[in-house]
Amino acid sequence: MKKYFILVLVYCLSLLTACFKDDTVVATDESMISDITITGLKDTTVTAFSTVLELEPEVVGYTEDELSYAWYVYGGELPVEGGYRTVKIADTKKLSYLVDLKQGSYTLVFEATHKENGYTMLAEMDLKVSTAFSQGFYILKETENGDCELDLYNRDNGECMSNILEATQGAALTGAPRELGVLYGKAYVDPETAEAGGANLLFVASGDNEMACFRTEDMMKVFDRSSILFGEMTADEIPYCMASIARLNLLFSNKGVRGDTPTGSSWVEGATGKLGYPKGDGASLFIQACDGSGMLYWDENAHRLRYYAGSVEEVEYFGDEINWDEVFPVATGWNHLAGVNTMWYIFEDQDGQRYLVFVDTTHAVTEVRRLDPASHIAQADVIAGNALTSYSIYVEHDNQLWIYSLEDGTEVALNPTGLPAGQITYLSDLYFSSLFDYLLIGVQNGNEYALCMYQIKGGQTLGGPEHLVEGEGKLKKVRYISQSDMYLPNYYAFTDYAVTLGMGPDFPY
């Protein structure tokens, strides 16, 4: 009997096993083939239709006669149906390729194949294709004639293009420069094809009430004050600035705030990008991030801090340390040290008394600090907040730089190495995501400017300027524009992702 149980048990176990054929072939020294090793390819950025990309990777393992080669490119707007081999650009080891691709991000693939055994090895590199205008530091300046011009500095190749408006539009914008802003995914209608689309735009305000928006791909003007609204912009309206925040692209003017949705965050395309009626009473140049959804701004007509995210709200303040009706704004900033968001404004009253006002992410004033009239920050002409590395504000007083601590109000001198002589007229902590974070210092000597870009560590400048840009004209403002598609700009800095994943601010206002 016992043996039958054993038989049944063995049978059951046999049912649990799977049959397989061991078809392993053990390699021998004779059957093994040599590996192909490819080195020497590095990610690169090139300019569309002007760069001849020359590459020659190192290939080890076989002689050149034993191998065949191929180069492919994929990504951007290229078709994807056939995999990475869809677009072949060369079949030689050495690549010499005039980059005739549209602006975008691509991948370059180099393939080496043994002619006899078919063994193939490939290597990839990222290829970012930009246009001459699609990415870089735009420098807003006043020409010797008092008009508005732009220079563009490319930190990848260290080149600076001067007087872009004259080169692309035929002339500088009339009147002195007032403001420079960046819009990501702004809806517009192409003036040449009448097709609706979306693009990154540069906003420039000049003269008494002029404005223009340029598509950074080619500097085509897509909006001005005659075309930005569905209706007519009245003669007394002064467009101050435009900015992107999360799902909004906003226009601030002395009439109020208007907004529309970036093309990337809408399910339906086809918007014209034109704007409707203004909300609120008025606005000003002093705008700031606040909660990742909307923006803070100073309403110069109502003399109140406001918040806009589709509708206008007043920033709550129940104290009496400051009389809003008697102050005007001097500066504003956004500090994001260690993932904590602090927005601040500096106001000055008619007696010259300055106040530092803190606003939290619930659009409420949390502190009003009376600034000591003897302090440098209370007398400074140029003010810019540190954003990411220090809880402080940079100020210029009597052509000397100081760092004001937001924590305790102390001030320490800042003496950047290698700063050219001249009058300091511009300060900005300019960053773009995790790509870079520079303290920008503009020094003016007559009609010549020097723009120094310093690395920052703990709020202090680190070494000499990493980039030094020199040009003609009076420097007014610098903003960086990326050719990337920005999804929900400056939104994640206000979420838990800021601390857990380091998704901080994307760019300052």
Residues lying near other proteins in the complex (CB under 8 A) are found at: 4, 7-8, 11-12, 15, 187, 230-231, 259-261, 266-277
Residue whose CB is less far from other proteins, 275 or 377: 275
Residue whose CB is less far from other proteins, 14 or 500: 14
Shortest reach from residue 9's CB to other proteins, in Å: 11
Separation of alpha carbons 56 and 114, rounded Å:
18
Shortest reach from residue 187's CB to other proteins, in Å: 8
3-state secondary structure of 311: coil
Separation of alpha carbons 348 and 365, rounded Å:
16
Ramachandran bin of 491, using left for φ above 0, alpha for ψ from -120 to 50, beta for the remaining angles: alpha
Shortest reach from residue 301's CB to other proteins, in Å: 19
List the structure tokens of 326.
Answer: 């008697």
Tokens 């007394």 correspond to what residue? Answer: 236
Residue whose CB is less far from other proteins, 276 or 458: 276
List the structure tokens of 506.
Answer: 């994307």
DSSP assignment of 428-471:
EEEEETTTEEEEEEEEEETTEEEEEEEEEETTEEEEEEEEEEEE
Separation of alpha carbons 32 and 34, rounded Å:
7
Shortest reach from residue 185's CB to other proteins, in Å: 14
Residue whose CB is less far from other proteins, 221 or 274: 274
List the structure tokens of 110.
Answer: 């180099």
Shortest reach from residue 214's CB to other proteins, in Å: 20
3-state secondary structure of 501: coil
Shortest reach from residue 313's CB to other proteins, in Å: 14
User: To 5 degrees, how large is the angle CA 113–CA 119–CA 120?
Assistant: 50
DSSP 161: E
Residue whose CB is less far from other proteins, 191 or 270: 270
Residue whose CB is less far from other proteins, 17 or 145: 17
Tokens 């409420």 correspond to what residue? Answer: 364
Shortest reach from residue 134's CB to other proteins, in Å: 25
Residue whose C-alpha is closest to residue 214's, from 228, 227, 203, 226? 203
Residue whose CB is less far from other proteins, 1 or 421: 1
